[in-house]
Amino acid sequence: MSERKPLLEVDNVTLRFGGVVALNQVDFTLYEGEILGLIGPNGAGKTTCFNAMTGVYLPTEGQIRFKGEQVSGKKRNKITKMGMARTFQNIRLFPEMTALENVLVGADAHNTTSVPTALLRLPKHWREERQSKARALELLNFVGITGRSDDLARNLSYGDQRRLEIARALATNPALLCLDEPAAGFNPAEKVALLELIKKIRDSGVTVLLIEHDMRLVMGVTDRIVVLEFGRKIAEGTPEEVRDNPKVVAAYLGVPDAA
């Protein structure tokens, strides 16, 4: 079996907001080709960790490396171009744009047409435009909303809006897709479909980092899990190892850890 290759390395990251320690020496490694769950009770620091990884926050201490290169301090668009994409807890689509146009916004992250080339409508511009549209339609089909390409994003169902946001993130051609609470507001059937979609994304060659409250979904889709509580990592391992960890049980049930 070949040695696993690190894709994302979070190395003793601490993040302070004034006197509040949001992340406290958090460390974990995400390997190429896996689905890693990042879980914990409300206020554990999960989304804060995502924000530090994707350039929203600059860590107070520690380093975050992606493909071996430090990302701390880089602008968000640079991190996207490196191959890291994300979705958000609260859907951030362009409501007055069509589903297709929303995905094209993601595809634009890697277009190389200059402003003069676009203004003059030179062949390179038309070629990139055709390629982007074909890729966008392919992604809408991939996430399961093929027939909604011309619908305004605001007219899509909540579940389809979630899928559209994933399609837009995938349009940036990421090596790593970070999903922040993708099952929020889903019914049981939608959650099952989402689980299959996440596996499909990984099988397509994209590594996945998942924040999710639904433990059944997390246990059913992840290869490994990292658990945060009050900004500190308290456990890491396979779903089975994490499920049986007394510290994790105590964190979720609010009972003292006897260990």
| Tens digits of residue pLDDT in 191-211 | 999 999 999 999 999 999 999
Give pLDDT < 70 ranges for the chain.
1-2, 109-126, 253-259
- Residue 253's pLDDT is 67
Cα torsion 168, 172, 173, 179: sign = negative
Nearest to 182, CA basis, from 155, 218, 129, 223: 218
Q: What ranges do the domains of the chain cover?
A: 1-83+174-259, 93-173
pLDDT at 114: 44
Mutual angle of helices 123-143 and 99-107, in 10-degree steps: 120
The fold of 1-83+174-259 is Rossmann fold (3.40.50)
Virtual CA dihedral for 34, 35, 36, 42, nearest 10 degrees? 170
Cβ atoms of 66 and 10 closer than 8 Å: no
Q: Is the pTM of this model over 0.85?
A: yes
Q: H helices within 3-157, ranges in order?
A: 46-53, 76-82, 99-107, 115-119, 123-143
